[in-house]
Structure 1
Amino acid sequence: MAHPITKRGQTLLDLLESERKYVIHLMALRDLHLPLASGQRDFGSIIPRGSRATFSTISDISFTSLSADGQPPMTEADVKAIFNNIAELATFSEQFVSDLECALGDFTTNSEWEDYVGKLFLTAIPLMEPLYKAYARKQSSSLERFNNLSRTPAFNVYLARTQVLTLNFSDAWDLPSLLLKPAERLTQYPMLLHAIISETPDSHPDKANLMEAHARMEQVKREIYEERRRREVVRDVLTSAAVISTPQKGVDTVKAKKSTLSVGVAASVSRMRMKSFRSAALKTEEVVEANMEAVAIKAMGEQLKSYESFVEQLARDSMKWADSMKALMCALDQWARAFGRVVWMGSDDEPSEAFDAFLQVIRDQLPPICDETKDGLRERLLPLLTSLVDTMVAPMRLMEAMHTLEPLHYGLLYLNVAKSRPPPQVIETSKSYVALRTQLFAELPTYLSLIDKGMAVCIRMFNQIQRRFYNNVRKRCTELRDTLAVDEAELVLDTRMAWRGRFVKVEAQIQGLRIWQAALDHRGDDDGFQRGLLHSLRAPSPPRTLNSTPAPPPLTPSRSSTIYIGVDNNVTLNDSNPSLINVPSPTEPTFRPGPAIQTRRESGVRLPSLYECRVVHSCEPPEGVEYRDLPFFTLRVDDVYGILQEMGHPSMHRDLPLYIDDGEDCLLLARDQAGDVGWVLASFLTPSD
């Protein structure tokens, strides 16, 4: 015999039937609207168990015309934004309604059956909460996107077809109505549980679970509502065309949307009242500082401002660096041409292929690398930096709005409501402030972490562009070096020799000026001529006579017809004992013939010598033989020469008019007793005693 359904049993049945109907709505979205919106023709069954025959005609309908023009009714991005996580919600609800049927059991025929709906909800809420929060978070934007879709022919056909199909088994005849079902269902759960609790006796074993489930569902609903409210406030601030301003800037009121954020307080709130709120806020400064959320938001706001300054500075400095590299290459070109004119020893119409190749690299190959680098910065780095700055606009505006509403909020907290009731607009403003503060406190840390990663990406990109620039410059220079195939050390030596050969006399004349001598007197002997115009000649302490020079070590035998003077290249001003290597008498050197030339006497002051040597082997070079515009001395035994500079082994000088072998020797720049400057070989000399 069937037992009559009690009032409590009816509430349980209402829960079950409403859940089944809700599942049909979700399945309609998942298995009908979503695949058809994507242009698919096959869709899953949207009919729950036991009801398939009622809707058997659905599978007979053709949907060929939905995408007749080759384009689906919605793009993939539109489908994802509009339907959100509806597929996950439908899957969860299918399982939940099945579990709910088991939890209720056959209580209509068995009065002793004990249902466990409360226990089921406690198990399902942890799974349900994130799904509904994720859906509610984007519900407003999904509806807005649907309303903004272009009404293409395929989209119009989609709306008509889905409306006909949906009306067969649902009272929600359009897509927006179906998209609102999850939010509606979430608000129904607490009411249904409350109705069941009211009809459940205290002795029922599941009543405690029902009461706890009701409290948790209320909490979930409240949190979702508060989050949605905060997001609405954020959206209103960001989309508002009004300029957010404080009363201190002379703006009393700012128009706000109806039932949304009141940024300035409505016109009913006078300027004097706002000033009193501001004063109250100032009096409660310690309360504001004690508010951890407000303090944290302030600190994060300062950090965000520093990020903004850094990004803008990086953009300016990166372009400035690119311009400086281009200017550097232009300066290098100018310097190379000027230096070439200074050291070039050939005639003006005699070109140098190596030097021309060097100029071509500087003029034709390096500037395009600079232009390419700047274009890369402009096309790759600057757009990324601009996008980072653009993302900072929204948080900065939200914080500005929060700080604008802050005095009004704290003014309301300390307002004596016994004397006057606050206007509704002020209460709404206070709620908006709390919503903004909560949302900023929740999301700013994540945003700052992401913006920090974005800046790191920009810095790495700038580093990559710089590295590519320097690699390209090095590649061009390496190709030039490999093409010329010259000895770098020899090339440097030739350049130095050309410089000395052209300007050694100029330096001697400059050093003979009285103003130069006065400068030397102030600097002292330690400076000497070390900082001369060309730094080509090293000067010791005041000139020494033959008798005052200490005797150096004896010379050692050489391996060939010439010798090498063993003096360290780093001889200082006070080195008075340069060591020479003694050798036996050399053979007469063979000179290449040269044009006749008169030995020239240096004018001006006598350059102090590094040390003095005495001729031990005579040598008479051909008449007119010279090197770098200086003659070779005719050497006679016991003649004394002051050594001005050691020029290295003769083989290092390719254009030296002297045939030499591989033996040890050294070309010396010397001065005789008459003051003439010329060349001698170390193999014919020995240090003076």
Structure 2
Amino acid sequence: MTDDDVRSIFRNISDIARLSSRFVERLETVANRRINEGGSDEDNVGNLFLDIIPHLEPLYKTYLSTHPAARSRLRQFSKSPANQNYTSVIQSHLLPGTPHLASFLEKPKQRIPEYCRLLHSIIDTSSVSHRDLMALAQARDQMNRLAGELRNARIFFPFPLSLKIPSIPTRTHGPASTEAGNLAQLENRLRQYVIFLDILAWHVKDLEVATRLSVESLQEWSITFSAVLGLGPSQSAPYLPAYVAFTSLLSSLLVLCTTVESDLQISLIPLNKLKAMTERPKQLLDEMHTLETRILSSPFAKILHYLDFSKDRRHHIDLRSKLLVELPLLLNAMDRAIGLVIRIAIQGILKFLERVRDKWMSFFNSMVEGDERYGGTQESWSTAWEDGRQMLMAWEEATYRGSRPNGTFALDGLRRVCRQRRQGCHPRMVRCTVTDRPAGLWHQDFKSVVHFPPARDRPLGCTNHEEEQDCMTEWPGLRTEKQNYRP
């Protein structure tokens, strides 16, 4: 085929193809923006048609006005024996049922009527209040005008413009759509498994961090509180068995936290392997979607690339069939594996909590003497904290007799809490707000969990009636009598 034949037969079809490609790109951009971001008033289909119609008119007039001469030149080209051999070689590489070149050359003649029908369908299915309706109506009128001008120029279309083509119902229960739906469900399950594995690993890691932080916070509190009482690791500090037992307990809990972290990390190794097993199916699914997009967006008129198009379609069918067979097996195996990993992790956590409970029980049992129900812990607690109580009472007496520097108002309230904590019989937990006295000098409140022993009618630690009234006002939990005491 000579250059003159190419110019006579195909004319300006390359310009039409470039314009159509730009139009499709703008449609995709507007559609994506409307779906993802909501779009703006300028992002509508009607405005796109209004922008492209002035460019369509000269191109299609040039192409359609020379169409009879192009068909005549193509018939002359096909009658030559050499050209017939060339045409037969080209057609041998095409799939059965592929239209001939003459059929492809008729496509631009059908494009303007197709635009008219599409605009009519969009307007019929749009609501009256849609913001794009006015622009669509203007685009429909201008497209009908362009079609009328081409018809008046004796460029006849293969069907009348006023013909209403009925819509073809979409097949929803065929084998192809059923396979696609099943594969979409399997893909959704696979991606949900991947997300679940990540979330499970994050929660287990958060549990490890929270457990260690809770024990470390308790240890920091014990060190700070012991410093307030004058206890600590220094050689001059008095030796208290209860304090040593408590610090030893916290140290053993930190060792347990390290152990449970290593055990949970070992239990999470199968999760990493399961997540690695999903990488290959995800790659195959992504490849299948890429092929599907390429097949749907490939221009049918590009004959030179039609052979590659057929290879993509065959590869797409093979991938879909393979995934439909192998994905159910993988997902069923992941169901059982994930359940086993979760059970292993739960058993490790329960074992850790049981060991923590045993250590706390051992600590509390070491502080018990006699019958616990009837205040048998009084002797052990009083003996354990007697030295600290005597030292704190001497400190309080010196503080109240002398001048109190700035900042000691908060310490006064804390010392009173400590005094109530160290004395009494059966301990019980009361949450209260401790406010320093006198009012107005210290405005910051702090909350603490303290042991209030209901041993006497008068609150413990109150030396006179005034302090008793303040304690009753600030700590209602102290108002308990012996006859109302229930352990």
**Structure 2 length-normalised TM:** 0.44
Larger radius of gyration: 1
- More helix by percentage: 2
